[in-house]
A and B are shown apart, each in its own frame.
Chain A
Amino acid sequence: MMPAKKKSRGLRVRDLLLLIPYVALLFPGLYARHDPVLWGFPFFYWYQFGWVIGGALLTGVVFLLRRSERTTR
């Protein structure tokens, strides 16, 4: 069996996806607004709830990309 000895520092382009939540949440100017209101929640609140799910989805995508790289190699 060929040992897959690929030298990498463990960071790849796909990992940049993980930065997106940082951009979305570290600038409160983007979302510190009352409107539009969703189900009674001001934008400030539902936007941040949305990013909990968005962040998990992005992390999940990176996980799957990583796995497919591993199996194809």
Chain B
Amino acid sequence: MDTHQVELAVFTLFFLLVTVVGFLASRWRRGDLDLLDEWGLGGRSFGTLITWFLVGGDLYTAYTVIAVPALVFGAGSVGFFALAYTSLVYPLGFLILPRLWAVSRKHGYVTAADFVRGRYGSHWLALAVAFTGILATMPYIALQLVGMNVVLAQMGLKGDWPLLVAFLILALYTYSSGLRAPALIALVKDAMIYIMVGAVVVLIPYKLGGYAHIFAAAGPLLAAKHPPAALVLPKSGYSAYASLALGSALALFMYPHSVTAILAAKSGDAIRRNQVLLPAYSVLLGLIALMGLMALVAGLHPATANMAIPMLIEWALPPWFAGFCFAAIAIGALVPAAIMSIAAANLFTRSFYRAYMRKDATARQESQVAKLASLVVKLGALPFIIFLPQQYAINLQLFGGAWILQTFPAIVFGLWQRRFHHIALLIGWIAGMAASTGMEMSLHMKGSTYALHLFGGTYPAYAGCYALTLNLAITILLTLVLDAARVKRLGDATSEEDYEDRVTTQAGGGVEAVAAEF
């Protein structure tokens, strides 16, 4: 057998194994899958460990293993903003997520849009949040497709059909077992990714002469690129670097799929513990990012930067192990794609179907619609692959991020206070969405760092951050204006205690409750 045949054989074996696990998942902790809470949130029953795998499987995706190292391969130090971003995201999650979880449990919210509806009483604002969530998820799913595509292409499978098969399998098992499928597969996937990374970060540097040599050799190679890149971030890159890290961190937990994984937890403390434990994945992310430099030093010339990592793996590892790694990457793209489509489907069901199309929908109808919507959302990802330039796959995630960031004011500030007027939030959102889309278009969808010209200076930064600043400024100003004009505010379905999760732990009783978490 030649290299590609061995790779394909091992790849197929692991892929099938995971598929079987996915189908068995519907029998796991059997619940009534015809209820949206069950199909879409796994019955809100996941403890610390499962949540860790689920959120981890959710956040560390083709973004981590393909897109970030590709950016490091092509642009050097700039790509490392992803590591800073993952260090910033958990302290923030520690503060906001338990509150979102507590209020959602109390009121039966399945999505962030449900929460906004309850908090501000405005169905228009909820609609805006839901729409943004679904829209922003599509390019993120597209990124996962790109990740699978480059792996399949590296094994010599050209064309579109392998991708089609992979997505058919994904669609089918998502449809039949809901969130349980990705949660269980996440266990397998994470084990595989850990094995892959553990081996790769030792074997490849060994082959290349050690980390010191990789860094030393990467410097001149990066400088020779067009446009030139650098091993250490140059001063001109500071503002873009910091804003990309900050914007990505603020955006992450606004995504419907992150909210879904968090709301599926069974306690606030399960979520808090996870914010302490999840950085273990960030170390992996940083090490995988360095593979971009390794590909450079290995002297590889992939057709696009996105191919750098599959090419490096094939170059450095025996075919059977390369096949294993490719399976890990492909499954690592499937799991989040499944969670993302489920989350977007939850949003559609609650915020469009039940709010506008069928107000008296039964739980069974809701679940049916969500299952169908999850299929439609996957299809919605395709145009982003077909019509956008694919120099760096990471841009797909950054587009989505710039959009989803515009829901930050309504969701996060709403968890502590409701000083903002709902109409001000809505108009701020419109301005933010228009601004971020406009900036991306002016960049011809090729990048997400917009150079703002202001008072004679030029300030390059993440378009999403500029748009969020505009959004917030408008929200604050208009709130003052609307309140001064006494424009009517709507009712708040929540109360202050709903945001605290202390009550459940008191009722559950100390140590046993904590032990039961694990």
Contact A41 B87 (CB under 8 A): no
Query: Any chain B CB within 8 A of the CB of A36?
Result: no
Chain B residues closer than 8 Å to A26, beta-carbon distance? 84, 88, 242, 245-246
Task: Type the 1/0 row for A8-33, where 1 means its CB is closer than 8 Å to any CB of B.
Answer: 11110001001101100111110011
Interface residues of A in 25-62 (CB under 8 A from B): 25-29, 32-34, 37, 39-42, 44-45, 48-49, 51-56, 58-60, 62
Contact B83 A52 (CB under 8 A): yes
Chain A residues closer than 8 Å to B83, beta-carbon distance? 48-49, 52
Known: A48-B80, A59-B276. A18 touches B245 (CB 8 A): no
Question: What is the minimal beta-carbon distance from A24 to any residue of chain B, in angstroms?
Answer: 8
Known: A49-B283, A63-B276. A41 touches B215 (CB 8 A): yes
- Return the chain A residue nearest B286 by Cβ: A49
CB < 8 Å A-B pair total: 127
Contact A11 B242 (CB under 8 A): no
Chain B interface residue count, Cβ-Cβ cutoff 8 angstroms: 52
Chain B residues closer than 8 Å to A44, beta-carbon distance? 77, 80, 231-233
Question: What is the minimal beta-carbon distance from A49 to any residue of chain B, in angstroms?
Answer: 5
Query: Any chain A CB within 8 A of the CB of B272?
Result: yes
Contact A55 B90 (CB under 8 A): yes
Chain A residues closer than 8 Å to B245, beta-carbon distance? 25-26
Which one of B84, B90, B91, B95 lies within 8 Å of A48 (CB-CB)? Answer: B84
Whole-angstrom distance between the alpha carbons of A64 and B241 in the complex? 32
Q: Supply 17 further A-B pairs (C-beta < 8 A) apart from A10-B99, A15-B95, A28-B241.
A: A11-B416, A18-B95, A21-B87, A26-B246, A29-B238, A32-B77, A41-B211, A44-B80, A44-B231, A45-B215, A48-B80, A49-B283, A53-B279, A53-B283, A56-B277, A59-B279, A66-B272
Q: Which residues of B contact A (CB under 8 A)?
A: 77, 80, 83-84, 86-88, 90-92, 94-95, 99, 210-216, 231-235, 237-238, 241-242, 245-246, 272-273, 275-277, 279-280, 282-283, 286, 290, 416-417, 496-497, 499-500, 502, 505-506, 510
Q: Which residues of A contact B (CB under 8 A)?
A: 4-5, 7-11, 15, 18-19, 21-22, 25-29, 32-34, 37, 39-42, 44-45, 48-49, 51-56, 58-60, 62-63, 66, 70-71
